[in-house]
Amino acid sequence: MEVKGDLSFVVNGGFGWTGPPCGVISPSNYTPIDLNGSGLCTVNPKDGEPSDVELMFRTGLFFAENWPQAQEGIKRHNLGSIRDGASQTIMMTENIHAGHDPNGDHGNWANPNSWRTCFFISGHVCKDLQCKAGTVDFTRANDRTQAPYQFEAINSSFQIEGAAPWPTSYHAGGVNVAFCDGSVRFISENLDGRTYVALMTPAGSMIEGPLAQSPLATDGF
């Protein structure tokens, strides 16, 4: 019997992962995301201040830019860099679709590919994947009602095996989530997208530019 080593969980990867030719890309369609609205690719670390690479670090816990190569050096979060608080920052979540790709002979265990081990906020929170003033709407991060957002929503019925790293479970109404303080809580699949983003970003209070977040109470999510 061949063992694929499939996962039943995925970790917080923030807004996107590294991929050619322009650095940060949207998980759903491999299109580059311009996180700081500069109009330049992340392949150029001087694409603005803060750079797309720096914003990706601040918006996710596990820094996908470390693989396959770090453009600005290896970066790791610690308790000091989780400015929003360990009890308010998601570390990992359940996933029932992070299994092997049915069209490929590989599994996920120890797989370095970010799209097999991380889950992501929908890059479509930025209209046309361009994060500029007036184009960012965090409610889209968990919009279960319309495409393309619904493909990346919590417990979406549109996700398929081997191609869907977003939070999913066999539970009715939501998923179990582990936070950075070690606590595990059940969150609703109807969680407001703004709250979802706030819980994903470890340094929301440090995010500048079009992705800047307003203070948002996350009690009772």
Pairing of strands 9-12, 23-25: unpaired
Tell me, what amino acid is at 72? E
pLDDT value at 63 more than 70:
yes
For residue 3, the model assigns a pLDDT of: 52
**96 is a domain residue:** yes
**44 is a domain residue:** no
Domain count of the fold of the chain: 1
**Termini Cα distance of the chain:** 42
Instruction: Look up the domain containing 198 and give its range.
Output: 9-17+60-122+138-211
Per-residue pLDDT tens over the stretch 78-105: 888 898 899 999 999 998 877 666 666 6
Q: Where do the H-state alpha helices sit in the chain?
A: 52-59, 114-117, 193-200
**88 is a domain residue:** yes
Per-residue pLDDT tens over the stretch 37-58: 888 766 666 788 888 888 888 8
**30 is a domain residue:** no
**189 is a domain residue:** yes
DSSP code at position 65: G
Count Cβ neighbours within 10 Å for each residue of 55-66 and write b for 16 or more, e otherwise: bbbbbbbbbbbb
**23 is a domain residue:** no
For residue 131, the model assigns a pLDDT of: 87
* Burial (CB count <10 Å: 0-12, 13-18, 19+), residue 69: exposed
Per-residue pLDDT tens over the stretch 162-186: 666 789 999 999 999 999 999 999 9
Q: How far is CA 46 from the centre of its chain?
A: 23
**185 is a domain residue:** yes
**204 is a domain residue:** yes
For residue 99, the model assigns a pLDDT of: 64
Per-residue pLDDT tens over the stretch 9-36: 889 988 865 554 455 555 555 667 788 8
Please give the Cα distance from 213 to 83 (Å, whole number).
13
